[in-house]
Amino acid sequence: MTELALIMVSSILVNNFVLVQFLGLCPFMGVSRKIETAIGLSLATTFVLTLAAMCSYLVQQYVLKPLDIEFLRTISFILVIAVVVQFTEMVVQKTSPLLYRVLGIFLPLITTNCIVLGVALLNANKSDFTFVTATLNGFAAGLGFSLVLVLFAALRERIAIADVPKSFEGAAIGMITAGLMSLAFMGFAGLIRL
C-alpha cells in the first residue's frame, strides 16, 4: 500500500513528467491558452496514459519478454499506443458525441505525446513493476500532467491580460513561466526517496 502511495506522489510531484523529466512539452506549451481546452486535453491524456500503460505492460510481459525480443519495445509500444488512441476515439464518438466534440482534436494528438511512450518505456525498464503498479504509474503520470497543464493554463490566462513588456509577449513569457514552474517542482525532489 505504501509503495502504491509512493508511486503516486513520485509520478505526480517529485518526478513530474512535464516539469522535471521534460516530456510532453509541446501539448504543455501548445494547449494551455484556455483553461477549458487544457482540462479537455488533461482528461483525454490521463485516460489514454492509463490504458496505454496497461496494454504496453501486457505486451512487454507476455509477448516481448518470453520471445526474448525486447529490442522491438519502441516500435511495438508505438503500435499499441496508436491502436489504443484510435479505439478510444471510436468508442467516445459512439457513446458520447459531446465529449467527442470537446476532446475530438486532442485525441489523435495524444499519439504523438512523448509522455505516453515515455511511461511505457520507463515501466518496461523497472523489473519489479507488477500490472497494478504499472497501471498506477500511468494514471499518476496523467494526473501529474493534468495538474501542471491546468495550473499553467490558469497562469497564462492571467498573463494574457497582464501588462507584459513588448519583447516578452506571447511565447516568450510562456517559456519563462514554464521555467519558473519547473524550478518550483524541482523543489519537491527532497520530499521522498524511492
Partner 1 sequence: MSMVLSAVLALLALCLVCGAILGFAAVRFRVEGDPIAEQVNALLPQTQCGQCGYPGCKPYSEAIAAGDKINKCPPGGEATIQALADLLDVEVEPLDAVEGEKPKMVAYIREAECIGCTKCIQACPVDAILGAAKQMHTVIVSECTGCDLCVEPCPVDCIDMIPLDQSLQSWKWELPLPPGQLIATDREQAA
| Binding flag, residue 76, partner 1 (CB under 8 A) | yes
Which of 4, 26, 34, 36 is in the footprint of partner 1 by CB under 8 A? 36
Residue for cell digits 512539452?
Answer: 25
Short-list 173, 184, 172, 176, CA closest to 147: 184
Selected range binding partner 1 among 2-10, 82-90, 119-127, 129-137, rule: CB under 8 A: 82-90
Which is closer to partner 1, CB of 26 or CB of 87? 87
Cα–Cα distance between 31 and 24 in angstroms, integer? 11
Which of 5, 26, 83, 189 is in the footprint of partner 1 by CB under 8 A? 83
| Binding flag, residue 194, partner 1 (CB under 8 A) | no
| Binding flag, residue 140, partner 1 (CB under 8 A) | no
| Binding flag, residue 67, partner 1 (CB under 8 A) | yes
**Cβ neighbours of residue 175 under 8 Å, at least 6 residues apart?**
29
Short-list 41, 12, 18, CA closest to 110: 41
Nearest distance, CB of residue 174 and partner 1, angstroms: 23
Which is closer to partner 1, CB of 102 or CB of 151? 102
Residue for cell digits 504496453?
Answer: 56
Cα–Cα distance between 46 and 9 in angstroms, integer? 16
Looking at residue 143, its amino acid is L
| Binding flag, residue 162, partner 1 (CB under 8 A) | no
Cα–Cα distance between 165 and 16 in angstroms, integer? 30
Cα–Cα distance between 175 and 19 in angstroms, integer? 12
Looking at residue 57, its amino acid is Y
Selected range binding partner 1 among 10-18, 21-29, 76-84, 137-145, rule: CB under 8 A: 76-84
The secondary structure of residue 194, as a DSSP letter, is: -
Nearest distance, CB of residue 119 and partner 1, angstroms: 19
| Binding flag, residue 169, partner 1 (CB under 8 A) | no
Instruction: Catalog residues that contact partner 1 under the rule CB under 8 A.
Output: 36, 59, 63-64, 67-69, 71-72, 75-76, 79-80, 83, 86-87, 90-91, 93-95, 97-98, 101-102
